[in-house]
Structure 1
Amino acid sequence: MPLIEREHLLSELTALHATAAAGHGRVALVDGGVASGKTELVNALAERAAAEGALVLTAACSLAESAIPLGVVNQLCHGADLRPALPAGDTDAPTLRDDDARLLESVCRLLLDLAAQRPLVVVVDDVQFADPLSLQALLYLQRRIRAARVLLVLSGCVTARPAGAAFHAELTRQPHCKHLRLLPLSPDGVGRLLAERFAPEVARRLAGPAHALSGGNPMLVHALADDSRGATEFPAVGDAFVHAALACLHRSDPRLLDVARAVAVAGPRASTALCAALADVTPAATRQAVTALAEAGLVDGHEFHHPAVRAAVLEDCPPDVLEALRHEAALLLHDDAAPAVEVAEHLVAVGAPVEPWAVPVLVAAAAEAAVEDATAHAVDCLELALASTADPRERAAVEAGLVRLHWRSKPSSVLRHLPSLLDAARADLLDGRDALLLARSLAWHGRPDDAAEVLAGLDELAEHPDPEVAADHRATADWLRHCDPDGPRTRTDRAPAEDPAADRFALDRAEEVLQRARPGDSVLVAVWAALRALITADRLDRAEDWCERLHEEADRRDLASWRAVLSDVRADTALRRGDLAAAHRHARQALTTLSAASWGVAIGSPLHHLVLAATLTGRLDQADEALRHPTPPALRRSLFWPRYLRARGVHYDAADRRQAALADFRAAGELAVRWAADDPADLPWRVDLARVHVRSGRPEAARELVTEHLALPGADSPRARGMGLRALASACAPKQRQAMLCEAMDLLHASGDRHELAHAFADLSQTGQALGEFGRAKMMGRRALQLAEGCAAGLLRQKLQPLHDALDERDGGAEDGLAALSDAERRVVNLAARGHTNREIGHKLFITVSTVEQHLTRAYRKLGISRRTDLVPIGPTEEVFA
């Protein structure tokens, strides 16, 4: 294997050998970083010298044998078949004794006698690990070879050990000593090395990244090549690279490993002083070691080239040593007034309970981590703080902080903290905001009585000077009423408003809550309530806009609870727009984002949306499966329950289980009335009940229910009134239905509910069939089918298709005249069907009466009708002026 970027060094060594062989002894000190190729270089020289007839004696030093007296000398004598030198007594004495001096003189004379016979090359590898007496022997030899045919080659990181500096100074002060230093490979050198393992184009592509990762260390480059074979990424960092990096450390001086561990523990932002203190060496020795680590291709400053190497160094460290280093680092950083997050990183890594001084540090670090959305680390900090303090008030504050963090992504984790926090609240150990948080959490997780107990002592917060605290109290009280409308009410509770000014105030307050909202930091239930307020008021565009903004931030910050609730709100708006496929998708996403335990009683909302969406899309089996989903008992005490009952009733009705549907609709209505939540826009239970009555042959009961529905506050919204009129029309005779259905169609179009609009067209189609107006029926049926397909209303489509096919068959498959109408004819037909005279139509459309008559004549022919009374509106009023 060629010595890449080492050829000139081999040439210099060869020249030194030639000079020595001529009787002018030379010394070569080959220095360089760990695994830089020193051994390969001196071995290449030894092979070349042996080929030229020189006697080559070699010795390989190691840390394990560095305490064996004259271990290196013995290796050299053994190689020359000389009698091994006997060890002396105290090899660590600062000065040589007479016996030692005579022994070394004897060894040197033996080697010089060999050189008199033929050129001698003495190679000592990893000389930094040589025992002290052997080092003295080498210095003895060096001083006596000036006129001998001897080349002494010493390789290694000579200054790596404490005695190395003196040895290096003594060695290099002699004029016949040559110092050769191996530098890391350049990017081009790395490319040449890789070309031995890969195709040239691959090697060129890998050279730059491989050099950045290895620092030009040949052993690390080879390891990268091993890891990259068959990998999908290049260069790949795998086991070979990590093991090679550890081998570099274990092959070097122990102090280098100590400093590497200190650097790994301290991290890239650490100072030299901190690393020195952790490694228990001087700052100067630390800087020297860091330089050596950089030459070995492991670090850049105090940062490892690859995080896998840092992780491996930490994993390689004995657990007790690592724990001591972590603890020492935390203490030193704290004493140096380092940021809490840096101190906490080491405390959390230790994992064991810490001293009291560290608890405030961990709490502060958790707060910083929460701001950066490092929720898991923040939880780790507070868990350790909780395990490290026995102070009741401090424990209560820490647990409240944990609850606040768990609300971001896993509300089910809140459960284990509720008992101790409730005890803390009863002992008056919680501040106001933490107590409000506890009350909301208790209500969410099905403990409304305990929540009411906590909230009962917090009435003064309703008038708190801090508007956020007052809003927090109001949101908590509203949430508790939502979770337990039969429970005790605080003095801040209000019954639902029934006048427009109050509604306007509620909407303004909802907008204020949403404008202040910060996902992860704000009160989630307050934001949810604000969005529901917009939806109930038919402000779907505003609700969707806020949902989009908040969901985007919740996604970016990975806040599962917020994403789940916002998905549920999206399901609600999608249902009200008649986008059943989107409603089904969002409801499922809400239920998969959070577990059932995390949803608590609030699971009633996404289940309600999923059951409705699955039923109306025709997936009755999925709706049935959703209804079998376990729910907490407390759900039946909450305002989520009437909506859940209504959804279940719709499913029972679709499955032809009318008595069960009637029971659910009635129960939902009774609860809504009892709990002052009887909102026809949000819970149209009377409309649902009326439809069942109509199909059961009880139109009088249906009309009475719809009349009540239409008279309620909130029923003047387009969607609520449109649904009511459609239900009322179904309870009337066919001749009376058309006007109601046309008005309902306009209202539902204005509301944006395509599913209800499709039902209105379907009802018009059935009315046309009942009156024998089959052309009209076919047009309306076709439009109903188109809308049903567009909003994924599978249940409606299943009912409509046979009727439409029957009309097609009766009509002989004649071309649908609706599609054949021009835009002008469509506008004229729309107005004529609504009862306008030809003169009124001409005035509205700015055309002559004669033109109106011509449009009507062509329309009659295309639609297959002969009378004006057969016309039916084929679109909303707005389409007339499109």
Structure 2
Amino acid sequence: MSTVLLVERNQEMNRLDGLLAGDDSGRSVVAIVSGSTGMGKTALLRAFRKRTAAAGVTVLSASSSPERRDRPYSTVRELLDSAVLSVLTASPGRFSARPDAVDPGPAQAARALIRTVSELSEHGPVLVAVDDIQYADPASLRCLHRLARQPTANPVAVVLTWDRKLGRRSHPALEELLYCPSVRRIHIGPLSSRGVAPSVSELFPGTADHQLAQMCFERSGGNPYLLGVVLTEMNTDKEGPAETHGAPKSPAKSTGIIFRDALVTCLHRMGPIAVIIARGVALLDECADIHLLSRFGNVGTVTAGNVLRKLTEIGVVRDFRFRHEAARSAVLDDIPPHEAVRLRHRASRLLREEGAPAEAVAAHLLLAGPLRQDWVVPVLLDASQAALLAGRTSTAIHCLELAAQCCADEARRYVVEVRAAGLQWLREPARSQERFLALGVPPREGKPALGPVMSVAEGLLWHLRFEEALDLVDRFGPGDRIPAARPAVGSTVTRTRLLVESTYPGLLSRFPGRAADDAPHSGAVAPATSAPGHRAVHALSAVLTGSADEHTIAQAEQVLQDGGFAHGSYRVIAPALLALVYADLVDSAATWCTRFLTGAGSHETPGWQGVLGTIGALVSLREGRLDIAVDKARAALAHINGTTWNESSVLATATLAEAYTAIGDHEAAAREFSRPAPDDLFETRAGLHYLYARGRHRLATGRARAALADFIDCGDRMTRWGIDTAALAPWRAGAVEACLALGDDAGAARWAEQKASPSKIALPRARGIELRSLAATRAVRDRPGLLEEALQLLQHSGDRYQSAHALADLGEAYQVLGDRAKARTAARRARRIAESCHAELLCRRLVSTHPSTAKPTDAQGPPTDGDRFAILSDSERRVAILAAQGYANREISDRLHVTISTVEQHLTRVYRKMSIRNREELPTEFRIGSTTDG
């Protein structure tokens, strides 16, 4: 610190030098060097002693300590001992008084000290230096006071360093000494940023890094003591591994262990009030202000302000915050565990009373543990919701878990635990089963609310734990009939019943309770005043049972329009999305899936991404985007798959396997079906997808009889459960294909003639698949008409894969009928669409049935159909070529970055210019120059 003292303390040193010039009164001159802890008072005094001794001044020195405060004359004795040492070293024989001659009485002690100093002053100036005078014993203080009032032959300077302890009154003897009229005061503060640079240069010669010096200043706050620790750590790190020799390590990258200990030492040296206020600053953090700190420390605002000024002066605090996180963490780590619990509870209570955000209050409660007071649970619930909205699911769960521990009422605790289980499912769907099973046994005291019970039941249903779910509803549900006077209860039970009807239909006959006015398939539209979740599952149930109309679809769309991104909104969004999927509104469902999975505010949580991602995979499959369906299904399974099956993993697996089969990757599809499937799996709607997908896989791998069994099993269940719609699973079409593969034409015809349950809404995709299977059982001459109609419906539905199959069938029919031109056109269109779908199996079929006969086009050769595109504008030509390749309007819109309405307008003009009626008549041969990259 020598360089620092010479540069930064030069003014103070000059003032001390002036003390030895004497006083006009001929008395000793007393100087008090004050400053906060760590400011370098001791270092300044030591440097001054050394400087004066070198100039021939006799120096008597002592250092007081708390341990010797109760020992009378301990400081005086140390001064006399130093006098002996000084005389023996400099001029033996001129000293007559001995320390052991000091009488216990104060008068004799004072006389001994005064006599000694007087004798020494006869030979020159004398310096009496006492460090940490605040710890001196009262008897020694009185002696020093007497000395200050005595005349001397030569100048005598009494220099005392003093650090006032906050909240502790000084001894009267010390105050009498400190506040003498003749006392000169020298106050030293922190080093300036310029004053730090010489210390860095002194320790690291050749280093002229201003940025490094500034970082040292920021870390130490200009506190010389802390600066020394920082430099020591940097020097230690520099002398570490060989590759770092000579290069000082940045203060921000130092280990900080010594620094943290030094900072805590500084605080404790300032006294207990400084410690408690510093802990308040650390705990309250950004919420800290003078009012809160005074309440936290149980001191007045004046005292709290004085402490903050001291903490600021020693370089620890700035604007109610620690200068850096290392200081804050050091203070927090210094709090004993039992004291930390008490202080955090105090901080949480104060923050709550001051209206701080719930999350700030909950942060202390989470670290401190349970506190059973009335205000705690509401705060934790609010904090959980806030954390959830901010995407901090783990924090939200911890808040609910702590809230449950703080609940004295068991019924209330159950409600909170149910909410925690819901969030646990959102974060770790596959691992949430144990929570729901534990909640399947509600509290022993008091009947729990019906809503939480039904939420637990739905969680158990999702995990396919049917027995536990039904038992829970049976024991704690409302009974067989719901009185009309309890509509809210009826709505809760009705929603769960509709969920069972639409998602777990195999359990419907075992569902224990229903409302008085509630019967299966009771209507197509739920009341507008119903909760969104009720309206969503009602729409899904109505679509599956064939009772949905346009108002039902509008209701589902409205639910999605109003749907937000709250943690439980997937329970509303998922059934509404599925209602659109099973209504063959694939384009609309795809748009909503994109919004809820990738839009602003969407949840990046496994549960959300898994459930809605599974629906997104199903949508992509029904669009004919097979490769995308595979990617989405695999991503969804990564979020929701576990050691046991669940409802979403069944659907995702079925979708993935069906997509693999359509692509032609039968080994991958077989792997999806290799996992043992429990019987309960087939009691679900997703199980119907599983049966149908397994049938498709078996049919594609030459096991037509096993495939037929799967299709019939799927159909039997759908018929028995009252959800026999081809929009769910076109099992009859599958049975037709299986019978044809077995050579059973009559059986195929019987299945093709069977009709699914009637529906009030048009189902273009389902109807197109039915017409295609019907065409396969008719005479060849009757097939083109049916297939043209099927193709139009399938293209309207947006299913490119099924459209490609219809075109392939149409090409084969024309081939048999001898119309090779139409056969070739249909086959080429089918191949282009199949290639865009990555349907390799269909592509291989088309190549083997309709080998390519295309010849290279000579730019100077005769005109082809492609020349007909020349009459179109550039934008019309781009739209027409993509339409001819089999792209749906929405896909063209995406590729060309225009609206769907613009695509439709272009196609209308294209039809008029080319004198055709629809896209099926668009030319399929065109020059390379007329194509577009789209």
- For 1:239, give the aligned amino acid: G
Unaligned runs of 5+ in 1: 89-96, 832-840, 850-854, 864-873
Task: For 2:124 and 2:17, locate their aligned partners in 1 and report how far apart those are by CA, in whole Å.
Answer: 12
Q: 1:605–1:640: 8 Å Cα contact kept in structure 2? A: yes
Could you say if the C-alpha distance between residues 638 and 198 of structure 1 is closer, same or farther in structure 2, counting changes exceeding 3 Å? farther
Could you say if the C-alpha distance between residues 751 and 79 of structure 1 is closer, same or farther in structure 2, counting changes exceeding 3 Å? farther
Task: For 2:824 and 2:840, locate their aligned partners in 1 and report how far apart those are by CA, in whole Å.
Answer: 19
Deviation of 1:788 (Å):
3.6
Aligned with residue 161 of structure 2, among 139, 148, 155: 155
Deviation of 1:276 (Å):
5.1
Could you say if the C-alpha distance between residues 184 and 813 of structure 1 is closer, same or farther in structure 2, counting changes exceeding 3 Å? same
Residue 48 in structure 1 maps to residue 51 in structure 2: yes
The residue that corresponds to 1:485 in the other structure is 508
Task: For 1:395 and 1:516, locate their aligned partners in 2 and report how far apart those are by CA, in whole Å.
Answer: 31
Aligned with residue 328 of structure 2, among 304, 310, 334: 310
Aligned with residue 650 of structure 1, among 689, 693, 696: 696
The residue that corresponds to 1:106 in the other structure is 112
The residue that corresponds to 1:871 in the other structure is none
Q: 1:680–1:715: 8 Å Cα contact kept in structure 2? A: no
Partner deviation per Cα, 1:198-250 (whole Å, 9 max, x = no partner): 99999555777776665444555677786899999995586355444334324
Deviation of 1:145 (Å):
7.5
SS at match of 2:33: strand
Deviation of 1:680 (Å):
0.7
Residue 720 in structure 1 maps to residue 726 in structure 2: no
Deviation of 1:338 (Å):
8.2
Task: For 1:127 and 1:164, locate their aligned partners in 2 and report how far apart those are by CA, in whole Å.
Answer: 11
Q: 1:710–1:721: 8 Å Cα contact kept in structure 2? A: no
SS at match of 1:110: helix
The residue that corresponds to 2:14 in the other structure is 14
Could you say if the C-alpha distance between residues 387 and 190 of structure 1 is closer, same or farther in structure 2, counting changes exceeding 3 Å? same
Task: For 1:670 and 1:570, locate their aligned partners in 2 and report how far apart those are by CA, in whole Å.
Answer: 27
Q: 1:612–1:647: 8 Å Cα contact kept in structure 2? A: yes
Could you say if the C-alpha distance between residues 859 and 585 of structure 1 is closer, same or farther in structure 2, counting changes exceeding 3 Å? closer
Could you say if the C-alpha distance between residues 335 and 529 of structure 1 is closer, same or farther in structure 2, counting changes exceeding 3 Å? closer
Aligned with residue 32 of structure 2, among 14, 21, 29: 29
Task: For 2:915 and 2:376, locate their aligned partners in 1 and report how far apart those are by CA, in whole Å.
Answer: 85
- For 1:369, give the aligned amino acid: S
The residue that corresponds to 2:275 in the other structure is 257
Normalised by the size of structure 2, how large is the TM-score?
0.75
Could you say if the C-alpha distance between residues 632 and 846 of structure 1 is closer, same or farther in structure 2, counting changes exceeding 3 Å? closer
The residue that corresponds to 1:434 in the other structure is 452
SS at match of 1:155: strand
Deviation of 1:532 (Å):
0.7
Task: For 2:196 and 2:519, locate their aligned partners in 1 and report how far apart those are by CA, in whole Å.
Answer: 75
Could you say if the C-alpha distance between residues 465 and 677 of structure 1 is closer, same or farther in structure 2, counting changes exceeding 3 Å? closer
Could you say if the C-alpha distance between residues 203 and 679 of structure 1 is closer, same or farther in structure 2, counting changes exceeding 3 Å? farther
Could you say if the C-alpha distance between residues 775 and 64 of structure 1 is closer, same or farther in structure 2, counting changes exceeding 3 Å? farther
The residue that corresponds to 2:620 in the other structure is 574
The residue that corresponds to 2:536 in the other structure is none
Residue 370 in structure 1 maps to residue 395 in structure 2: no
Task: For 2:686 and 2:776, locate their aligned partners in 1 and report how far apart those are by CA, in whole Å.
Answer: 29
Greater Cα shift, 167-176 or 739-748: 167-176
Task: For 1:399 and 1:262, locate their aligned partners in 2 and report how far apart those are by CA, in whole Å.
Answer: 33
Could you say if the C-alpha distance between residues 193 and 542 of structure 1 is closer, same or farther in structure 2, counting changes exceeding 3 Å? farther
Could you say if the C-alpha distance between residues 393 and 186 of structure 1 is closer, same or farther in structure 2, counting changes exceeding 3 Å? same
- For 1:179, give the aligned amino acid: R
What are the residue-to-residue correspondences of 1:721-740 with 2, within 5 Å? 721-731=767-777, 737-740=783-786
The residue that corresponds to 2:479 in the other structure is 457
The residue that corresponds to 1:835 in the other structure is none
Deviation of 1:292 (Å):
1.8
SS at match of 1:325: helix
Deviation of 1:605 (Å):
2.2
Could you say if the C-alpha distance between residues 309 and 551 of structure 1 is closer, same or farther in structure 2, counting changes exceeding 3 Å? farther
Q: 2:167–2:303: 8 Å Cα contact kept in structure 1? A: no
Task: For 1:203 and 1:509, locate their aligned partners in 2 and report how far apart those are by CA, in whole Å.
Answer: 69
- For 1:586, give the aligned amino acid: K
Could you say if the C-alpha distance between residues 109 and 234 of structure 1 is closer, same or farther in structure 2, counting changes exceeding 3 Å? closer
SS at match of 2:287: coil
SS at match of 2:109: helix
Deviation of 1:572 (Å):
2.0
Aligned with residue 749 of structure 1, among 773, 789, 795: 795
The residue that corresponds to 1:494 in the other structure is 520
Greater Cα shift, 622-631 or 190-199: 190-199
Deviation of 1:667 (Å):
1.8
Q: 1:340–1:362: 8 Å Cα contact kept in structure 2? A: no
Task: For 2:926 and 2:563, locate their aligned partners in 1 and report how far apart those are by CA, in whole Å.
Answer: 59
Aligned with residue 691 of structure 1, among 725, 737, 741: 737
SS at match of 2:185: strand
Cα root mean square deviation, aligned: 5.0
Could you say if the C-alpha distance between residues 273 and 523 of structure 1 is closer, same or farther in structure 2, counting changes exceeding 3 Å? closer
Partner deviation per Cα, 1:262-281 (whole Å, 9 max, x = no partner): 44345543565764565565
SS at match of 2:447: coil
Task: For 1:142 and 1:620, locate their aligned partners in 2 and report how far apart those are by CA, in whole Å.
Answer: 104
Could you say if the C-alpha distance between residues 501 and 682 of structure 1 is closer, same or farther in structure 2, counting changes exceeding 3 Å? closer
Task: For 1:818 and 1:127, locate their aligned partners in 2 and report how far apart those are by CA, in whole Å.
Answer: 109
The residue that corresponds to 1:180 in the other structure is 186
Deviation of 1:642 (Å):
0.9
Task: For 2:305 and 2:909, locate their aligned partners in 1 and report how far apart those are by CA, in whole Å.
Answer: 95
Greater Cα shift, 316-325 or 333-342: 333-342
The residue that corresponds to 1:836 in the other structure is none
Identity %: 29
Could you say if the C-alpha distance between residues 845 and 382 of structure 1 is closer, same or farther in structure 2, counting changes exceeding 3 Å? closer
Could you say if the C-alpha distance between residues 406 and 67 of structure 1 is closer, same or farther in structure 2, counting changes exceeding 3 Å? farther
Deviation of 1:626 (Å):
3.6
Unaligned runs of 5+ in 2: 86-96, 239-243, 522-540, 872-876, 885-907
Q: 2:277–2:293: 8 Å Cα contact kept in structure 1? A: yes
Could you say if the C-alpha distance between residues 119 and 611 of structure 1 is closer, same or farther in structure 2, counting changes exceeding 3 Å? farther
Q: 2:640–2:648: 8 Å Cα contact kept in structure 1? A: no
What are the residue-to-residue correspondences of 1:448-847 with 2, within 5 Å? 448-453=469-474, 454-457=476-479, 460=482, 472-481=492-501, 482-483=503-504, 484-488=507-511, 490-491=514-515, 492-495=518-521, 497=542, 502-520=548-566, 522=568, 524-551=570-597, 559-594=605-640, 596=642, 600-628=646-674, 634-708=680-754, 713=759, 716-731=762-777, 737-764=783-810, 783-797=829-843, 807-808=851-852, 821-823=867-869, 845=912
Task: For 1:428 and 1:670, locate their aligned partners in 2 and report how far apart those are by CA, in whole Å.
Answer: 44
Task: For 2:772 and 2:205, locate their aligned partners in 1 and report how far apart those are by CA, in whole Å.
Answer: 76
Q: 2:660–2:668: 8 Å Cα contact kept in structure 1? A: yes
Q: 1:385–1:398: 8 Å Cα contact kept in structure 2? A: yes
Q: 2:31–2:159: 8 Å Cα contact kept in structure 1? A: yes
Could you say if the C-alpha distance between residues 327 and 653 of structure 1 is closer, same or farther in structure 2, counting changes exceeding 3 Å? same
Q: 2:414–2:448: 8 Å Cα contact kept in structure 1? A: yes
Could you say if the C-alpha distance between residues 309 and 861 of structure 1 is closer, same or farther in structure 2, counting changes exceeding 3 Å? closer
Could you say if the C-alpha distance between residues 820 and 134 of structure 1 is closer, same or farther in structure 2, counting changes exceeding 3 Å? farther
Task: For 1:69 and 1:104, locate their aligned partners in 2 and report how far apart those are by CA, in whole Å.
Answer: 12
Task: For 2:658 and 2:15, locate their aligned partners in 1 and report how far apart those are by CA, in whole Å.
Answer: 91
SS at match of 1:261: helix
Task: For 1:202 and 1:634, locate their aligned partners in 2 and report how far apart those are by CA, in whole Å.
Answer: 76
Deviation of 1:155 (Å):
3.4
Task: For 1:458 and 1:208, locate their aligned partners in 2 and report how far apart those are by CA, in whole Å.
Answer: 77
SS at match of 1:430: coil
Could you say if the C-alpha distance between residues 209 and 551 of structure 1 is closer, same or farther in structure 2, counting changes exceeding 3 Å? farther
- For 2:763, give the aligned amino acid: S
Residue 409 in structure 1 maps to residue 424 in structure 2: no
SS at match of 2:754: helix
SS at match of 1:530: helix
SS at match of 1:30: strand
Partner deviation per Cα, 1:378-399 (whole Å, 9 max, x = no partner): 5444434433555443433443
